[in-house]
Amino acid sequence: MTRVFVTGSSTGLGLLAARRLLEAGHEVTVHARDDGRADALRRELPGPPVVIGDLSSIAATRDVAAQVGALGRHDAVIHNAGVYRVPQRVETVDGLSLTFAVNVLAPYLLTALLEPADRLVYLTSGLLSGGDASLDDAQWTRRRWNWMQAYSDSKLFDTMLAFAVARLRPGVRSNAVNPGWVPTRMGGAGAPDDLELGAATQVWLAAGDDPAADVTARYFHHRRSAPVPAVVERAPAQDALLAYCAGLTGTELT
């Protein structure tokens, strides 16, 4: 039996992944942004512990990490929480772009703060292929806002983070998963991919009960490994991203 923490698990892929893990007999800790979502989540999945916090805030993300830590070590973490279509630049309480704060900085900080798990899964997207790894204006304070570019950049950064952790923590299985364009609240009702398949790969990797999932520094789509942009595997680019996130949070990932 595996113990798994799933961020952003009140709806969509996170909720489905948590449900499938529970059905397979694993222990799961779920996460909701606020009390209202937590109450709804408890109705959907009675039993599992719920941690609460808005991952757009550095302080709240630290508190989520403390709540998870108080429950004890987890064998796996699925970094599922994310935002997608943000039509205009939204600034967080920390003065950051909402897209970067939730999609990139939160998984970075949780990885840095939580007791190291055996398996880490970072949700990314096929749109990473259009991402730009430049950190020159990662918060979009000078450029005209482009939500699609900001999202694509964030998913490229998530994949770089997964590969960086695999390099820095050899004993950890750290991978990125593209769930496809699936019909969730984020993806929209008309999304063409299969919702069950969208959650299957992260469940497979997190459960750790299949020797075929005993891999690291891979990018998966529907349980098949796929190539990544060259910058994802470049240690200097990874280190630049880690240093940037450490500068924003005051916490290094070691």
- Which helix (H) or strand (E) segment holds residue 19: the answer is helix 12-23
- Two tokens at 190? 């008309």
Query: Using CA atoms, how far apart are residues 108 and 154, in angstroms rounded to an integer?
Result: 12
Give the strands of the sheet with 76-79, arranged side by side: 50-52, 27-32, 3-6, 76-79, 119-123, 173-178, 219-221, 224-226
Question: Of residues 84, 108, 122, 151, which has the active-site annotation?
Answer: 151
- Two tokens at 95? 């003065």
Burial label for 181, CB within 10 Å (0-12, 13-18, 19+), is middle
Question: Of residues 84, 108, 122, 155, which has the active-site annotation?
Answer: 155
Q: Is 155 a catalytic residue?
A: yes
Q: Tell me the residue length of the chain.
A: 254
Query: Using CA atoms, how far apart are residues 162 and 166, in angstroms rounded to an integer?
Result: 6
Residues with catalytic roles: 151, 155
